[in-house]
Amino acid sequence: MTAVESTATSSEEYEALRATVEDFARKEVAPVIADFYIREEFPYDLVRSMGEMGLFGLPISEEYGGMGGDYYALCLALEELGKVDSSVAITLEAGVSLGAMPIYRFGTDEQKARWLPDIAAGRTLGAFGLTEPGGGSDAGATRTTAKLDGDEWVINGSKCFITNSGTDITSVVTVTAVTGEKPGGGKEISAILVPSGTPGFSVSEKYSKVGWNASDTRELFFDDVRVPKENLLGEQGRGYAQFLSILDEGRIAIAALSVGLAQGCVDESLRYAHEREAFGHPIGDYQAIQFKIADMEVRAHTARLAWHDAAEKMLRGEPFKKEAAIAKLVASNAAMDNSRDATQVFGGYGFMNEYPVGRFYRDAKILEIGEGTSEVQRMLIARHLGL
């Protein structure tokens, strides 16, 4: 698979990128992903191909091995992948927005030069360790600690639900940890880079999950893990704030992925409605099916407009936190609703692993939870309305 063209800035270049990823998703991902999903196996060959295409480096400058594109280009790719499979799409989304972007946004020149070229090329993956077993949405309740001992940080604690953290090609995890106390009280939270294989740093076996079964998700453990003090990412005490800004961008990416799943449900349902016959007619001839699929298309279309709006504001340098929350909320709802309706259109076959809509149904729910639950999105929107 050849690399996509770099620096997608015009509508023609965006369309060329979209078409390239669509072709890859249909020809390379679709024929094999169900087997990976059933075996709960990470698709290394597909990740390698996406790396060769330049997808992991889309929003990263050419200086650090990227394609010199932008976040809108990444989201276009995520939507196309999401139409076929969410495990592959989330591997790309987390690899870029959570693995690469914290280093790209806040890292030193040395940190960028060390980690980004391999991540941008898909040769390695990065991960971000924020969530903890007792924290969930309350990321400020971080218990993992990092204390300076001479020229080293000593890290102790654990993280959970961390994507891309335990693959054979995972190279680094950015970890949030309490590094002190703020002057006015409260926890000082910083972000620290922990290379894979560092003594004391271990990962659990893969979780047994409802969906995203071909992606890598694990719990992380830190037992007196020592890394150089130069592994501090960004400013000490700003780790939580840094991650919140990364999360705003990531919500647009998750929205795009969600739209892909929602549109994939429409596409599969349309095909099936033409092929499946009942009472002597294709089921698409019946108004009950027509209206259901029409509603599915409305959801996908509306959610697409929402992530486009948020992405455009972001690229113009305008505030986009509220728009990102709206996009994530609307798109994840659309994915969940469309997957439920698509399964209904397929009837008994929708409950079989043989058909992709069953996989879509299992994958959709986490989109209402990961990178900020639907309740958190509503809280953010209300806050921006002055409530």
Residues 65 and 171 in one domain: no
Share of the chain residues as helix, strand and coil, in percent rounded to the nearest 5: 55, 15, 25
CATH code for the domain of 87: 1.10.540.10
Residues 95 and 186 in one domain: no
d(CA 283, CA 248): 42
Q: Alpha-carbon distance 342 to 363, whole Å?
A: 13
Does 78 share its domain with 162?
A: no
**What pLDDT, on the 0 to 100 scale, is given for residue 3?**
54
Per-residue pLDDT of the chain (387 residues; tens, 9 = 90+): 455 544 445 789 999 999 999 999 999 999 999 999 999 999 999 999 999 999 999 999 999 999 999 999 999 999 999 999 999 999 999 999 999 999 999 999 999 999 999 999 999 999 999 999 876 667 668 899 999 999 999 999 999 999 999 999 999 999 999 999 988 878 999 999 999 999 999 999 999 999 999 999 999 999 999 999 999 999 999 988 898 889 999 999 999 999 999 999 999 999 999 999 999 999 999 999 999 999 999 999 999 999 999 999 999 999 999 999 999 999 999 999 999 999 999 999 999 988 999 999 999 999 999 989 999 999 999 999 999
A 10 A CB-CB count for 180 gives 15
pLDDT at 249: 94
Element (H, E) at 233: strand 232-233
Residue 1 lies in a domain: no
Contact 123, 184 (CB under 8 A): no
Tokens coding 357: 């809509």
The helix (H) or strand (E) run that includes residue 379 is helix 374-384
**What pLDDT does 184 receive?**
80
Do 250 and 368 share a structural domain? yes
Strands 201-203 and 217-228, bridge-based pairing: antiparallel
Known catalytic membership, residue 110: no
Which domain, by its residues, includes 224? 127-237
- Which DSSP letter does residue 174 get? E
Are 91 and 40 found together in one domain?
Answer: yes
- Catalytic residue (one of 28, 80, 219, 371): 371
Q: Do 290 and 225 have their domain in common?
A: no
Q: What is the CATH number of the domain that holds 351?
A: 1.20.140.10
User: Do 176 and 187 belong to one domain?
Assistant: yes
Same domain? 231 vs 259: no
349/357 Cα distance (integer angstroms): 9
Whether residues 379 and 257 share a domain: the answer is: yes
Domain boundary among 216, 237, 258: 237
Cα–Cα separations (whole angstroms), residue 348 to 84, 199, 362: 21, 50, 15
Residues 212 and 112 sit within 8 Å (Cβ to Cβ): no
153 and 51, same structural domain? no
pLDDT of residue 256: 98
Domain co-membership, 227 together with 274: no
**What is the per-residue pLDDT for 25?**
98
- Look at the chain and report how many structural domains it folds into: 3
In a domain, 229, yes or no: yes
Are β-strands 125-129 and 170-181 bridged in parallel, bridged antiparallel, or unpaired?
parallel
Q: Of 190, 206, 237, which marks where a domain is finished?
A: 237
**Domain endpoint, select from 124, 158, 182:** 124
The rounded radius of gyration (Å) of the Cα atoms in the chain is: 21
Please give the pLDDT value at position 9: 54
Q: 369, exposed or middle or buried, with CB in 10 Å at 0-12, 13-18, 19+?
A: middle
CA angle 365, 367, 372 (to 5 degrees): 125
